[in-house]
Amino acid sequence: MRRRIVKVHLFAILVVAVGSALAAQDAFTFKTSRDKIEAGQSATLSWAAQGDAAFLTGIGKVKPTGEQLVSPLVPTTYVLVIESGSTIRTAALTVDVTGPRGASDFPDISEFNTAPIADQRRGSKFTDFLDVVHKTLQDQMSFSVRGDFLPKRPYVTLYTNKRLRPELIRPTDRGIRYRRLAYSVQVNEPVKGLISYEIRTIVEYQRTAETEWHAERDDTIVRAAVETLRTTLAANLKP
């Protein structure tokens, strides 16, 4: 009888230990000190997770546990990606902004309705890939970058504000003063080590003596804008 009791106790201890280990592995928090701020104020994002690497939209690669001070001028959603081996976990939160705000030139994610250019990459970590896309858009191409994530969809979308980029899109047509564009990059979670992504863009033009922006109808110009980003990303993703 005593031997049986010892075995039961050992089994119970084992169950508790395994349960504690799984609980520690599954622990994942992402929160903000303030979910609503006045324009000009700041909030602190904090997160804690068990993982090998992490990525935060608007910031880039971060540690799996940390915090970040943010001062958005308009309501902004922040997406956190935690990567641990082949396991990827994603969470999102929004910091609302009230009072006088800065002008937002970020398009709605649904506005990127152009036909995408798709590509893929093997051998990269998901967080590393997102970081390369983020740095290419923000640091190399001088856009501001936001993220979008819908629960139960296995991808993260990074998208930019609208910017005048005469070195990419020149107003060569008579009567057109400016052209501006914005990019969207949908990065799908890896499947058997293969990361696929899709690039979309918005291109608009403004006529001389007008303030209104019009959607670009020249497909050649739109495709050229998307191809510019694709080739830039391809160069930055080389080992």
CATH topology of domain 27-101: Immunoglobulin-like (2.60.40)
CA distance 82 to 88: 6
CA distance 25 to 32: 22
Above 80 in pLDDT, residue 80? yes
Interval 1-56: pLDDT, tens: 445 544 445 444 444 443 444 444 567 999 999 999 998 899 999 999 999 999 99
Range(s) of the chain covered by CATH 3.30.530.50? 105-239
Q: What is the pLDDT of residue 199?
A: 95
Q: Cα separation of 91 and 89, whole Å?
A: 7
Rounded-to-integer distance, Cα 153 and Cα 146, Å:
17
Chain-wide mean pLDDT for the chain?
Answer: 84
Residue 60 and residue 131 in contact, taking contact as beta carbons nearer than 8 Å = yes
Cα–Cα distances in angstroms (integers) from residue 175 to residues 49, 179, 206, 208, in the given order: 55, 12, 9, 6
Give domain 105-239's CATH architecture: 2-Layer Sandwich (3.30)
Angle 120-125-129 from CA coordinates, rounded to 5°: 55
**Close Cβ partners of 131 (under 8 Å, ≥ 6 residues apart):** 55, 60, 61
Q: Using the predicted structure, report yes or no on whether residue 129 has a pLDDT greater than 80.
A: yes
pLDDT tens for 148-170 read 876 667 899 999 999 998 777 77
pLDDT at 149: 73
pLDDT in tens, 169-216: 776 777 888 899 999 999 999 988 899 999 999 999 999 889 999 998
Tokens coding 165: 């980029």
Q: pLDDT tens, 106-118?
A: 898 888 878 888 8
Model-level pTM?
Answer: 0.82
Where are the CATH 2.60.40.2470 domain residues in the chain? Answer: 27-101
pLDDT for 20: 40
